Structure 1
Amino acid sequence: MLLTPEEMDRRLDEHFDFEARDDVAGVLRTLTPEVEHDVVGWPTGPSRGREGARPFYETLFADLSHGQVKSLRRLYGDGFMVDDSLWSGKAPGRPFGLDGGDRPLSFRLLHVIEFAENGQISRENVWVDMAAILQQLPQVAVAA
């Protein structure tokens, strides 16, 4: 049985709510046990399974704080959705390897989400607007 767009919205919003609370266990519960998790450009590449996704979320929650996701547009298909959203918050750690300096940060995200019949996320594919991040978190060159 395929999810309706409204059910997909509820499932992804639940996932984002756990992210906003830095709740790794909650986020992982929204994923299938065999989830494919792929943040394009992430140094370790795509991961498989909840435990494979755990290190990404632990790092993310250490590097970014007070995060809120605002969905700008969503498109729906049979068993999947595309979510264009804006993340905003602070960067106390080293997001994407950059010194955050606890500065404010906002950037666009594009999620392609596939759902299992039980409503859990079976595939999460994410593109991040790195150009916006680099503009907001300029790095100080260290003299050699």
Structure 2
Amino acid sequence: MTREEMDRKIDEHFAFEARDDVEGVLATLAPDVEHDIVGSPGGPTRGREAARAFYEALFADLADGRVTCVKRLYGDRFLVDESVWSGRASGRPFGLEGKDRPLEFRLLHVVEFADGGDVGRENVWIDLAAIIRQLPQA
């Protein structure tokens, strides 16, 4: 895959996330995708339907999300994307009371592409310390 093809696919994925479009996000994933949100209590999942629960919860807990790319690194059929997510904590993101407060945190995606160009593996690292600082619990 070219860098442009990888950019198009991950930008499409992020655009569906920004619209809270679960079906759109899942359509960017390979049928047997490995979906790994590092630190998630359930651990990595396999397959589109297994990833669905994460996105449904995420979209219920975060609102008005926007992802701004800071830097991308490319390899053979993979990319590493450093981004900043900004929006509102409308629910209980990552188990914390959001109280509809503004929220911004860094994300690191390691994305491997399957044959056909869909996301075959998505590994996401979230700056949980920044989230905890912004959503103090009292």
One-letter amino acid of the structure 2 residue matched with residue 112 of structure 1: V
2:67 paired residue among 66, 69, 91: 69
TM-score w.r.t. structure 2 length? Answer: 0.99
Name segments (4+ residues, structure 1) moved above 2 Å: none
For 1:81-100, list aligned pairs within 5 A.
81-100=79-98
For 1:18-97, list aligned pairs within 5 A.
18-97=16-95
Partner Cα separation in structure 1 for residue 43 and residue 115 of structure 2: 26
Query: 2:128: which partner in 1?
Result: 130
Sequence identity percentage: 69
User: Alpha-carbon deviation of 1:34?
Assistant: 0.1
Unpaired stretches in structure 1, ≥5 consecutive residues: none
For 1:88-127, list aligned pairs within 5 A.
88-127=86-125
Number of residue pairs the alignment of both structures matches = 138
CA deviations 1:52-98 (Å, max 9, x no partner) are: 00000000000000000001000000010000000000001000000
One-letter amino acid of the structure 1 residue matched with residue 122 of structure 2: E
CA deviations 1:13-58 (Å, max 9, x no partner) are: 0000000000000000000000000000112111000000000000
Within the alignment, does 1:5 sit opposite 2:6 as a pair? Answer: no
**Which secondary structure state, in structure 2, belongs to the residue aligned with residue 105 of structure 1?**
strand
**Which secondary structure state, in structure 2, belongs to the residue aligned with residue 57 of structure 1?**
helix
Over aligned residues, Cα RMSD in angstroms? 0.4
User: Alpha-carbon deviation of 1:117?
Assistant: 2.4
**Which secondary structure state, in structure 1, belongs to the residue aligned with residue 131 of structure 2?**
helix
**Which secondary structure state, in structure 1, belongs to the residue aligned with residue 60 of structure 2?**
helix
TM-score w.r.t. structure 1 length? Answer: 0.95
